[in-house]
A and B are shown apart, each in its own frame.
Chain A
Amino acid sequence: MSDTTPEEHGRGAVTRRTAVKAGTALLGAGAFARAMAPLTSFTKDITIDEFLQKHYLELDDAHLQKVLRRLEKETKDEYGADVQISDVRPTPGVQFGYALNLSVCTGCRRCADACHHENNHDRRTNNSYIRVFELSNGSLDFSEGSVDYDHTVPQPGKFYMPVQCHQCDEPPCVDVCPVQATWKEADGIVVVDYNWCIGCRYCEAACPYHARRFNWTKPEIPAEEINTEQSYLSNRIRPQGVVEKCTFCLHRTRKGRLPACLEACPTGARVFGNLLDPNSEIRRVLETKRVYVLKEELGLKPRFFYFFDE
Chain B
Amino acid sequence: MISVPGSLACTDFACTLNRILPVACRHRDANIGRAPCSGIPLLSALLTCALLPGLVHGCNGPDVRTEWGESVDEDAPLHEVTIHQPDSLTGLRASTTGPDGNPVSLRCATCHDGSPGADLARRRVEGDRMHAGLTMEHGELQCASCHSGDSLDQLHLASGEPVELVDAFTLCAQCHGPQTRDYNAGSHGGMNGYWDLRRGPRVRNHCIDCHDPHQPRYPDLVPMPAPRDRFLHRGRSDSAHGTHSEPTPSSNDGHSTDGGNR
B30 CB to closest chain A CB, in angstroms?
Answer: 8
Asked if B64 and A59 sit within 8 Å, CB to CB, the answer is yes
Asked if A265 and B262 sit within 8 Å, CB to CB, the answer is no
Chain A residue contacts of B62, Cβ below 8 A = 58
* With A57-B57, A60-B64, A309-B182 as contacts: A148 and B232 at CB distance below 8 Å: yes
Chain B residue contacts of A94, Cβ below 8 A = 196
Asked if A57 and B195 sit within 8 Å, CB to CB, the answer is no
A109 within 8 A of B: yes
Asked if B200 and A257 sit within 8 Å, CB to CB, the answer is yes
With the chains together, A204 CA to B3 CA distance in Å? 18
* With A55-B60, A153-B220 as contacts: A179 and B191 at CB distance below 8 Å: no
Chain B residue contacts of A101, Cβ below 8 A = 187-188
B220: which of A91, A134, A144, A154 is its contact (CB, 8 Å)?
Answer: A154
Asked if B249 and A257 sit within 8 Å, CB to CB, the answer is no
Chain A residue contacts of B64, Cβ below 8 A = 57-60
Asked if A149 and B223 sit within 8 Å, CB to CB, the answer is yes
Asked if A88 and B250 sit within 8 Å, CB to CB, the answer is no
A284 within 8 A of B: yes
Interface centre among A59, A142, A146, A205 (most CB of B within 10 A): A146
With the chains together, A178 CA to B222 CA distance in Å? 43
Asked if A268 and B220 sit within 8 Å, CB to CB, the answer is no
Asked if A179 and B55 sit within 8 Å, CB to CB, the answer is yes
A108: which of B74, B221, B258 is its contact (CB, 8 Å)?
Answer: B221
* With A90-B67, A95-B1 as contacts: A126 and B227 at CB distance below 8 Å: yes
Interface residues in A, total, Cβ within 8 A: 96
Asked if A147 and B68 sit within 8 Å, CB to CB, the answer is no
In B164-193, which residues have CB < 8 Å from any A CB? 178, 182, 185-193
Asked if A146 and B252 sit within 8 Å, CB to CB, the answer is yes
Closest to A142 in B: B257
B190: which of A113, A152, A267, A284 is its contact (CB, 8 Å)?
Answer: A267
Asked if B226 and A268 sit within 8 Å, CB to CB, the answer is no
* With A124-B228, A183-B3 as contacts: A147 and B221 at CB distance below 8 Å: no
With the chains together, A196 CA to B54 CA distance in Å? 11
Closest to A307 in B: B187
B79 CB to closest chain A CB, in angstroms?
Answer: 9
Kindly list the 5 A-B residue pairs having the minimum CB-CB distance in the complex, ordered from nearest.
Answer: A89-B69, A149-B249, A256-B199, A281-B186, A256-B196
**CB pairs A–B below 8 angstroms (28 shown):** A89-B66, A89-B69, A91-B71, A124-B228, A125-B228, A125-B261, A131-B227, A132-B223, A145-B257, A146-B256, A147-B227, A147-B257, A149-B223, A149-B249, A153-B220, A174-B26, A180-B5, A184-B4, A185-B67, A186-B2, A186-B68, A214-B261, A256-B72, A256-B196, A263-B192, A266-B190, A268-B187, A268-B205
